[in-house]
Structure formats: structure tokens, C-alpha cells
Amino acid sequence: MSNPKFAWCDGIVPWEDATCHVSSLAFKYGAAVFEGIRAYWDGSNLCIWQLNEHLARLEKGQRFMRFETPFSADHVADAIKQTLNANEFRANVHITATAFLSGPGQPFLCDPASLAITAMARGDFATDGLRVQVSSWRRASDAAQPQRIKSNGNYLNGRLAAVQARVDGYDTALMLGQDGKVSEGPAMCFFMVRNGVVITPDQQSDILESITRDTMITLLREAGHTVQERKVDRSELAMADEAFFCGTAWEVAPIHSIDGLAMPAGSPGPITQTLRSQFDALTQGTDTSHPEWRTYL
């Protein structure tokens, strides 16, 4: 697949020129926060999915990282739209918007910042069942490196688990927190269904403040399901009838098995299947409810 023509690096630039210096604090220390965002092509329009939610999280992330010159939501929105327009996409697109410390210097500096946007045509990650390994790598804790922030540095933690899972013959990993409770996957949140009740680790389980997780909870509750956000024991994984991961990139991804134990209700299980179909209809615009989640270009 060829690269897009243009990216944003404090302005529209040819793709090849969207670079970050090796002396920058972003490169040396991972001093950056980013968003992964999807835009869906409905045949005639490109629709940015949950743009406002992503812009709000990026603002929070920059604040948390104490950037002295944070980028406003309006500025980032404009940069994303310009990047999409410049590339004239006619397909589903995956966007990243990264605010990063672009200067050299001491690790405690919080300035200057740059904004980078990339957008690439990309299909979905559709899978009928992920074979999941409970990782021996634990999620970094809120007291050490808060996972609720989407900071680039956090991704080493999940990457260790994802690479280990691949090496061991699995598709991906499910991580436990320092307390041994279930946390999340390397780039996705975890849900399981037990006796008809939908269960997901709570926000205090060292997970990202995920937009898709919130969306799943909203859709499930609207459909009349009971959703529990709570601590989840590792042993409960063996009691699950069905399970899935979710996230911007992964959308709704059914889980086939965890540590070799197949989901008794199948993959996808019935609740997962219904939810996935509904989510697809919403993102493709055939279901027009929740207009607040769509920003047309």
C-alpha cells in the first residue's frame, strides 16, 4: 500500500517531510500524547467518528503532561480536516493526531510542542475470534505511569504483552493490573458476558479512558442489558460465556478463547454479534441514531 501524499506537521507537508528530530523529548522520552481516530467513507462522504470525544481527550492529555503550549480542540480539528481534504480519501481512514514535545533539552521541559496528523486508508481489523493470552506482563499502575492518559510512552507496556503473545502463538494479550485483576488489552478494552450480565473492568483497573468502551456501555444499556463496571478476577475469565475487545482501531473484536479455553457461547457470541452489527451500522451511517458521534467533512 502506498503512503498518502500529505501529512500535517505544524502545517500541511509532503508525507516524507513529516519528521521528528532524534534529539526531541518526544523521541527520547516518549513525551507525547495522541489520538487514534477513524473516518468512515459512506460512498459519498467521509465521516469522522466521535471527533469531539477524541479532541476532548487530547486536550486532557496535554494538560496532564503539562504542555506549556497545548493545542486547542479547534486547532486540532482544523488540522485533521485539512489533512483529510488534502489527501482526497475515498475509503475508510485511520487518523492519528499527536501533540509532541519537539525540542531538545532536559526531561523536565514542557515546551515547545508540535502537532502531527497522519491519515491512511485502512480497512477494518475484522476477526471472528481472537486467541488471547493472559499476559505475564502487568499493566503499569496509576501510581507509576497512568494508563488513563493516551501517552506514547505508555505503549511500551502493552507492546511487551502483544509481542509476547505473538511469540507464544496467540493473536493478542489481555493484561492484569498490579493487583492481579483484569485490566485491558494492548490497544483495546475488555468485555465479557456471564449469565447474561455484561462485565467490564472499571476505570480504576489501570485502563485507558476509552471512547469505544463508553460507547459499548451506552449501546448495551440502551438495548436493555445490565452492564457492570467493576474489578474482574482472573478466574472469572474461565466463567465467561462470551467476550470481546473494543477500541477505535479494533471496533468490536470477538474473543475466541482465553488461555486456550474457548468461549462456550461461541465466537462471536450472540450479544457480541448484535453489538458489532449495530456498531458497524452506526459507523457506516446506515443507522442514523446518535448524530452527535458523527462529524462530516
Pick the closer one to ligand PMP by CB: 12 or 275.
Answer: 275
Query: Residue 151: what residue type?
Result: S
The torsion region of residue 80 among left (phi > 0), alpha (psi -120 to 50) and beta comes to alpha
Nearby residues of 117 by Cβ (< 8 Å), 6 or more positions away: 7, 8, 76, 79, 80, 83, 95, 96, 97, 98
- Shortest distance in whole angstroms from residue 38 CB to ligand PMP: 9
Please give the Cα distance from 156 to 17 (Å, whole number): 26
Pick the closer one to ligand PMP by CB: 213 or 256.
Answer: 213
Binding segment (CB under 6 A) for ligand PMP, from list 85-93, 120-128, 211-219, 255-263: 211-219
**Which residue among 102, 205, 212, 273 contacts ligand PMP (CB under 6 A)?**
212
- Shortest distance in whole angstroms from residue 215 CB to ligand PMP: 7
Binding segment (CB under 6 A) for ligand PMP, from list 69-77, 92-100, 208-216, 235-243: 208-216
Binding segment (CB under 6 A) for ligand PMP, from list 77-85, 124-132, 186-194, 272-280: 186-194
SS3 41: strand
Determine the Cα angle at 27 with ends 113 and 115, to 5°. 30
Q: How many residues of this chain interact with ligand PMP, rule: CB under 6 A?
A: 14
Pick the closer one to ligand PMP by CB: 12 or 50.
Answer: 50
Determine the Cα angle at 151 with ends 205 and 39, to 5°. 95
Binding segment (CB under 6 A) for ligand PMP, from list 23-31, 125-133, 203-211, 223-231: 203-211
Q: Would you count residue 93 as binding ligand PMP (CB under 6 A)? A: no
Q: Would you count residue 146 as binding ligand PMP (CB under 6 A)? A: no
Q: Would you count residue 26 as binding ligand PMP (CB under 6 A)? A: no
Count CA within 13 A, CB hemisphere, residue 142. Answer: 11
**Which residue among 208, 237, 243, 255 contacts ligand PMP (CB under 6 A)?**
208
Q: Would you count residue 36 as binding ligand PMP (CB under 6 A)? A: yes
Q: What is the 3-state secondary structure (H, E, C) of 183-215?
A: CCCCCCEEEEEECCEEEEECCCCCCCCCHHHHH
Q: Would you count residue 201 as binding ligand PMP (CB under 6 A)? A: no
Nearby residues of 160 by Cβ (< 8 Å), 6 or more positions away: 135, 137
Write out the binding residues for ligand PMP, residues 221-280 only, by CB under 6 A: 247-248
The torsion region of residue 265 among left (phi > 0), alpha (psi -120 to 50) and beta comes to alpha
Pick the closer one to ligand PMP by CB: 187 or 275.
Answer: 187
Q: Which three cell numbers stand for residue 254?
A: 470477538
> Do residues 50 and 293 lie in contact, with contact meaning Cβ atoms separated by under 8 Å?
yes
- Shortest distance in whole angstroms from residue 27 CB to ligand PMP: 20
Q: Would you count residue 189 as binding ligand PMP (CB under 6 A)? A: yes
**Which residue among 4, 61, 158, 285 contacts ligand PMP (CB under 6 A)?**
158
- Shortest distance in whole angstroms from residue 208 CB to ligand PMP: 4
Residue 64 CA: distances (Å) to CA of 58, 68, 219: 10, 11, 29
Q: Would you count residue 210 as binding ligand PMP (CB under 6 A)? A: yes
Beta strands, E only, 234-274: 242-247, 251-258, 261-262
Binding site for ligand PMP (CB under 6 A): 36, 150, 158, 184, 187-189, 208, 210-213, 247-248
